[in-house]
Structure 1
Amino acid sequence: MAEEIIHFNNRREAQDLTAGGPEFLRLIAGAFDIRITARDMWVKLSGPDERVQQAAEFFRILRDIRERGARLGEHGLRYALRAYQQGKGEELRQLYSVRIDVAPGRPPIFPRTFGQRDYVRAIMTRDITFGIGPAGTGKTYLAMAMAVSYLLKGDVSRIILTRPAIEAGEALGYLPGDMYQKVFPYLRPLYDALYDMMSPDDIERNMDRGVIEVAPLAYMRGRTLNHAFVILDEAQNTTSEQMLMFLTRLGFDSRCVITGDLTQVDLPPSKASGLVEARRILSNIQGIAFAELTDADVVRHSLVQKVIQAYREDRLQTRGRTPARPTDTLEPTA
Structure 2
Amino acid sequence: MTEASQIIQLPSNESAIALAGDREENLQILSRHTGTKLVLRGYDLHIYGQGKAVERCAAVIGLLEPYWREAQNISQPEITTAFQALDTGQTEAYRHLQQNELARTRRGEVIRAKTRNQRQYVQAILTHDVTFCTGPAGTGKTFLAAVLAVQALLNDECDRLILTRPAVEAGEKLGFLPGDLQQKVNPFLRPLYDALFEFIDPEKIPDLMERGKIEIAPLAYMRGRTLNNAFVIVDEAQNTTPAQIKMVLTRLGFRSRMVVTGDITQTDLPSYQASGLVVATNILKSVEGLAFCELTSADVVRHPLVQKIVAAYELHEQKNQSSSK
- TM-score category of the 2 structures, normalised to the smaller one: 0.7 to 0.9
TM-score normalised by L of structure 1: 0.83
* Distance apart, 1:63 and its partner CA: 0.8
Q: Would you say the 8 A contact 1:236–1:261 is kept in 2?
A: yes
Q: CA deviation at 1:160?
A: 0.4
* Contact 1:58/1:84, CA 8 A, preserved across alignment: no
Task: Tell me what 1:332 maps to.
Answer: none
Aligned to 2:80: 79
Contact 1:159 1:211 in 2 (8 A): yes
CA contact 1:129–1:258 (8 Å) conserved in 2: yes
- What amino acid is aligned across from residue 71 of structure 1 in structure 2? Q
Query: Per-residue displacement from partner, 1:41-64 (whole Å, max 9, x unpaired)?
Result: 222334554433333222221113
Measured against aligned partners, the alpha-carbon deviations of 1:156-181 in whole angstroms (never above 9, x if no partner) come to 1211011111239xx98998766642
One-letter code aligned to 1:193:
A
CA contact under 8 A between 1:102 and 1:148: conserved in structure 2?
no
Distance in 1 of aligned mates of 2:79 and 2:111: 19
CA distance in 2, matches of 1:273, 1:23: 38
* Identity percentage of aligned residues: 45
Q: 1:262 to 1:36 in 2, by over 3 A?
A: closer
Contact 2:105 2:111 in 1 (8 A): no
Structure 1 residues 110-149: aligned runs within 5 Å = 110-149=112-151
Partner of 2:9: 7
Q: Tell me the residue number matched to 1:61.
A: 63
- Bigger CA drift: 79-88 or 257-266? 79-88
Distance 1:181 1:230 in 2: 22
5 Å-filtered alignment, 1:272-283, equals 272-283=274-285
1:127-158 Cα distance to aligned partner (Å, 9 max, x none) = 10011112222211111111112112221121
Assess, with a 3 A threshold, how the Cα gap between structure 1 residues 317 and 49 changes in structure 2: closer, same or farther: closer
Residue 8 of structure 2 aligns with an amino acid whose one-letter code is: I
Q: Deviations over 1:213-243 (max 9, x none)?
A: 1111111111111111101111112122211
Q: Can you give the 5+ residue segments of structure 1 that lack an aligned partner in the other structure?
A: 324-334
Distance 1:5 1:173, change over 3 A: closer
Unaligned runs of 5+ in 2: none
Query: 2:230, 2:147 → 1: CA distance?
Result: 14
Please give the TM-score of this superposition, normalised by the length of structure 2. 0.85
Return 311-320 or 145-154, whichever deviates more.
311-320
The alpha carbon displacement at 1:71 in A equals 2.9
**8 A contact 1:133–1:292 mirrored in 2:** yes
Aligned-residue CA RMSD (Å): 3.1
Q: What is the aligned counterpart of 2:45 among 43, 46, 54?
A: 43
Could you say if the C-alpha distance between residues 173 and 219 of structure 1 is closer, same or farther in structure 2, counting changes exceeding 3 Å? farther
Q: Which residue of 1 aligns with 2:304?
A: 302
**SS in structure 2 of the partner of residue 73 of structure 1:** coil
Are the counterparts in 1 of residues 39 and 47 from structure 2 also a CA contact under 8 Å? Answer: yes
